[in-house]
Amino acid sequence: MKTNESAENYLETILVLSRRNPVVRSVDIAAELGFKKSSVSVAMKNLREAGHITVTREGFIYLTESGREIAEMIYERHELLSSWLISLGVDEKTATEDACRIEHDISKKSFEAIKRHIGVR
């Protein structure tokens, strides 16, 4: 399940958009992230080839089991780290930005230790 930060961000974005919208398309991802449609198309091709998404003929994007697993892991880290930093007195904007950086690099062991420390299972 080794992916790079960019792929993880795309998968997390697809997850978030799929919870908000009935379908997710490349144009939705581009708008959400502020990226060019051509950049998103290349990323979707790579994610599809890696088996993390499927794309229908209509252009609807769905996470596969492996894609969902990665996206949910990154999303959980983002949410928990953001709220934890805010609870420590960090302003919301900084906490969210820092959580975005930390979520990709923190080890599973350290993340689990933080969860235990703050009482989250």
In whole angstroms, what is the distance from residue 62 CA to residue 6 CA?
Answer: 17
56 and 93 co-located in one domain:
no
pLDDT digits (tens, 9 = 90+) for 55-111: 999 999 999 999 999 999 999 999 999 999 999 999 999 999 999 999 999 999 999
Measured CA to CA in angstroms, residue 52 lies from 4, 45, 82, 97 at distances of 13, 10, 25, 25
Number of domains composing the chain: 2
59 and 75 co-located in one domain:
no
> What is the extent of the structural domain holding 40?
5-64
12 and 58 co-located in one domain:
yes
60 and 90 co-located in one domain:
no
pLDDT digits (tens, 9 = 90+) for 34-53: 999 999 999 999 999 999 99
Query: What pTM was computed for the model?
Result: 0.89
